[in-house]
Structure 1
Amino acid sequence: MGTAVIMHGDHRVIPKQTLAPAAEVKSYRQRWFEYQKPIPLYWTILLGVAVWVIFFGVWELAAAKGWVNTLFMPPPHQVLSTLYTMIVEKGFLYDIGTSIYRILASFALACAVAIPLGVLMGSFRTFDAFFNPFVSAWRYLPAPAFIPLLLMWFGAGEGSKLALLFIGVIFFLITLIMDHTRAVRTELIETAMTLGASRWQILSTIVLPAVAPKIMISMRQMLAVSWTYLVIAEIVASTTGIGAVMMRGQRFLKVDEIMAGILVIGVVGLMFDFLFRWAQRVLFPYVPRGEQ
């Protein structure tokens, strides 16, 4: 790269080549830290893997160096070994399947109620005025507080667990869907009304297609919340499920089994999150990637 100075009258002009390194550094920094700028897919994968490698590496190092008590915080390799033993010898796959069934059954029921009710509340002020005070009040009540009542009403079987998971997400899901429905562009609705469309036509051909991608996002968010209630639902009068296995581990001070259960919940939850993202890209390819 040349370093000659070009004279222009009485002024010295720095050639363009000498500014190239600074420009290159600026461009490089922008690729890393520019606000909301997309990054390549391979960087997304690499960074996503790197954070977990660092997390487990620090955890393993802390256990190896004696920085933590391995009785209460066993290293990752021990947790993975315990998880393998639980799956192969103790039928842990059945418990995982039972927990997944409880999550999916209760969440499907919650969606069947929340989606039509949330869309109607967001579309028509009459529905909103009637249901919103009721939904808003229930949203502030902690779902675990209903455990004694649910046990009396449904017994110690599946009914009480499904009911707790249902209560934990239904009212928040209704509110999210209602808010997304209200955000549908009013000019679209007004144009359809001008053209003589009926209320049902507006709802089915404009409101629902416009709000459907946002409903999918709300479902993905609330499914994660449903998993947070799983252990609470399975620690009361339950002998099966991931939560029940974790409670038995706590009773006998088997911390590695507790951590194995936590790890499984995280992995299964992440798998469902990826499935929702994939389904959204397939069903709504017109939605920008950053809004999915």
Structure 2
Amino acid sequence: MKKSPTKARLFLIRTDIPRKWYWIGTILSFVFVLLVWQVMSSFHIVQTTFLPSPEFVFNTFIQLITSTDYWADIGISFYRVFMGFLLAAIIGVPLGILAGTFKITESLIIPLSEFIRYMPAPAFIPLIMVWAGIGETAKILIIFIGSFFQLIIMVADDTKAVNEDLIHASYTLGANRRMALIRVILPAVLPRLFSTLRLIMGWAWTYLVVAELVAADSGLGYSIMKAQRFMNTDVIFVGILVIGLLGLIIDRLFVVLNRVLFPWSEGGK
């Protein structure tokens, strides 16, 4: 018996599938995780102190999300992540483009960035506290350090991926180096750059809890750490889920903007 054409396409390498099947796969993955969680909680495979049931976590989520204090924590965490990301983008994107365009700039920037990016951002906390104190600047700097050096290297790679034929064609048409950079390389790199910024934003959120270890008295990371001290694992789960939801919303916004601004490129699923 022959398989239907649609089912035959589902497992072809790098072949698009109908949007309906894509959403079915997405929903099934979430349902599977929830079922495993429910089973482990219902049969006490893990103690409820450490793994509360999905219903209990959902009730805690409703309770917290209706609190103005929790929205204040969400707001300050979003501010810290956005400012750290923005600072990294403002400095890192131009440096990455220059490093991907000129070999001399690459020699000055990339080896040092490769070296520093393997240093864990939490290791800089004592130095940051000495340099910037324990205020908002310190928290933003931790997110900045965690994102900045990765961003430079990825932007440089995006710039190097621009087709050299385009650059040579611009020279043939009379462009100089400045014109080739501004009118050829920059427009060509923008779709890839937008996707890279989307990935870096995700990394910025992963450094949030680390950043809020620095004498914080507010924020989602702080609420998670405070809940840990009192073994309120339901609050910990809610904090993790809220960070995940915020990250997912921002990620989808990046995808939509990518499709709107660069309709000729692949903006992701």
If the TM-score is normalised by the length of the shorter chain, which range does it land in?
A: over 0.9
Where in structure 2 are there 5+ consecutive unaligned residues?
Answer: none
- Measured in 1, the distance between the counterparts of 2:57 and 2:262 equals 39
Determine helix, strand or coil for the equivalent of 1:33.
coil
Letter aligned with residue 248 of structure 2: L
User: Is residue 185 of structure 1 aligned with residue 163 of structure 2?
Assistant: yes
Change (3 A) 1:164 1:60: same
Query: Quick one: which of 78, 98, 104 aligns to 2:82?
Result: 104
Larger-Rg structure = 1
Query: Quick one: which of 131, 134, 138 aligns to 2:112?
Result: 134
CA RMSD of aligned residues (A): 1.5
8 A contact 2:255–2:267 mirrored in 1: no
Query: Quick one: which of 252, 257, 267 aligns to 2:235?
Result: 257
Change (3 A) 1:90 1:283: closer
CA offset at residue 187 of structure 1? 1.2
Change (3 A) 1:89 1:121: closer
Query: Quick one: which of 219, 226, 236 aligns to 2:197?
Result: 219
- Measured in 2, the distance between the counterparts of 1:61 and 1:136 equals 44
Letter aligned with residue 255 of structure 2: R
Query: Quick one: which of 141, 144, 154 aligns to 1:176?
Result: 154
- Measured in 2, the distance between the counterparts of 1:31 and 1:289 equals 22
Moved >3 Å (runs of 4+): 26-29
Query: Quick one: which of 30, 43, 52 aligns to 1:52?
Result: 30
- Measured in 2, the distance between the counterparts of 1:113 and 1:175 equals 13
Deviations 1:91-143 (A, max 9, x none): 21110111111111110110001111111111111211222232222112111
Query: Quick one: which of 253, 256, 261 aligns to 1:283?
Result: 261
1:39 corresponding residue in structure 2: 17
Q: Which moves more between the two structures, 49-58 or 214-223?
A: 49-58
Deviations 1:254-274 (A, max 9, x none): 011011100101111111110
- Measured in 2, the distance between the counterparts of 1:229 and 1:66 equals 32
1:235 corresponding residue in structure 2: 213
- Measured in 1, the distance between the counterparts of 2:100 and 2:173 equals 22
Q: Percent identity?
A: 39
- Measured in 2, the distance between the counterparts of 1:89 and 1:185 equals 52
Q: Which moves more between the two structures, 138-147 or 125-134?
A: 125-134
Change (3 A) 1:192 1:90: closer
CA offset at residue 87 of structure 1? 2.4
